[in-house]
Structure 1
């Protein structure tokens, strides 16, 4: 399941202006946006939302290529090993920051082999369950997990994602043990949550809001600093008794190391214009309740280094292993 409607995607592409500069070497060629996860999740949807605008602005056909596996490192490595010619880019998720700590022998150095382009934005994590499950609040989940240690399961978009780490922190704070079921994409995780194969799941609000709105999932908790307008009846972690427990999924774009700065600057401008176009912006900020940042390459790099240090430390402390 994709999280953006075909109508929203089409409207965003038709309304996009043609003002951004073009990548001269890419004109008439095909540009790949590699998503290191399977289709149907939030990262895939962000890439498909922005690709029509990039096609118009860069003077080249932009295609999204899903290359999942190994906590996103397979797709990231494909981009790291690509020629730095402006034809291959990575649009990835928060787990990108935990690759160095999660994998014993990662195929790439995420800090050296890829150049930051843009931090697109983020969306608070949320926990949701199928409506016929016996949980109305996170307190119900904690009580069940204490009564049956490891008897309550939750899915996530993979080992070492910020969502997975947040559930570990929540379990430790609550004194409750839950069983983690990792998936290779948000689409697979939410499908199994809707089908009832796991008791609940944690994912970005952007991923789960359509299913919550449609009634196939019921929200239990959100990890933002305040309640989202579309989850106005759902407690934050702080309100539920877990102060300081905040977590936000994020999406960012990277290029092969050595990509000429002019190409990075132009891609940054094309991304900024595509996501600032009114329809695309509405899909992101209102429909999906995401926070757009649209950073500079330098800001993206600074943010990413901080994420590697913060969440990588938690991966090591919890001794998390790859999927």
Structure 2
């Protein structure tokens, strides 16, 4: 009898946990954290994904913007959330370098997250406001050599991939320019359109439709020319073969997301990315290349990116501001 009572008690204690684990998902609204201000590339892509996710998951999907520390503030919130499938984060390329720049980050960029999908990549565009005189990258380099520390360039933050790319370019070209970090793509693109900075570097989506209107592109940062801008040369083509990088956007969840939830959320994302209207808005409207990777492939991609950019941070003694 004592053994029977203990077994019954153990079963009673375990029952709520079993019921919770077997509860249907999703059963309520889902949050996509955007760790940057409204108007930037992460915010834009997240909001383009919402309708498809809502349709396929059958529950409200909401975006929450929580910016700061190159995306680390909002990302840290999701790292601490329960792995119940109700909280996810769309990260930008800064996720690959934040750990190297911020010792007090409060989370591990790989260990504390479940990779879901590398959603898209894009070359960054080095642009200048229309009022500025330069028409080519060579003219910018010549001006920077003639007057060191006078030309300014804007990025989405210290240690961002755009900042590291410009650091590599400056080192290879033997020039010194003034870095102006912004809290996100929205404020940065607004400043560029107003001519408050000399140069700006970001993906086309991050520049908020300004390319070809208020700012003109001088170079793209990819390893090869983007099909969206086949006439725009890469930085590498213009004499700097070791300067190549692409922005990326990827979905993560907290660590230890149950396999069934991960599989369904990934499927909803993948199916959404097959929608012709969404694809047109992302590829033609925003200038990104859709990837739609598996969770495993995204995990490997993050490992490679973190190793690459950690080396750049250390070799160039870059510090968080």
Aligned counterpart, 1:68: 67
Name the Cα RMSD after superposition: 1.4
Find 2:302's aligned residue among 301, 304, 320.
304
3-state SS, counterpart of residue 294 of structure 1: coil
Could you give the per-residue CA deviations for residues 18-60 of structure 1, whole angstroms, max 9, x where no partner exists? Answer: xxxxx93323x11100011111111111100001111111121
Aligned positions of 1:118-197 closer than 5 A: 118-197=117-196
Aligned counterpart, 2:238: 240
Aligned counterpart, 1:42: 41
Runs of 4+ in 1 over 3 A off after TM superposition: none
Contact 1:284 1:290 survives alignment (8 Å): yes
Q: Between Structure 1 and Structure 2, whose CA radius of gyration is higher?
A: 2
Aligned counterpart, 2:197: 198
Name stretches of at least 5 consecutive residues in structure 1 with no aligned partner: 1-22
Aligned counterpart, 1:111: 110
Name stretches of at least 5 consecutive residues in structure 2 with no aligned partner: 1-22
Q: CA deviation at 1:308?
A: 0.8
TM-score by length of 2: 0.90
Q: CA deviation at 1:212?
A: 1.6
Partner Cα distance (1:64, 1:206) in 2: 18
Partner Cα distance (2:271, 2:283) in 1: 15
Find 1:268's aligned residue among 241, 266, 270.
266
Q: CA deviation at 1:287?
A: 2.2
3-state SS, counterpart of residue 46 of structure 1: helix
Q: CA deviation at 1:110?
A: 1.1
Q: CA deviation at 1:246?
A: 1.4
Contact 1:102 1:316 survives alignment (8 Å): no
3-state SS, counterpart of residue 26 of structure 1: coil
Is residue 102 of structure 1 aligned with residue 101 of structure 2?
Answer: yes
TM-score by length of 1: 0.89
Aligned counterpart, 2:16: none
Partner Cα distance (1:201, 1:290) in 2: 18
Could you give the per-residue CA deviations for residues 233-256 of structure 1, whole angstroms, max 9, x where no partner exists? Answer: 322112211113211000000011
Aligned counterpart, 2:24: 24
Partner Cα distance (1:116, 1:35) in 2: 16
Partner Cα distance (2:257, 2:246) in 1: 29
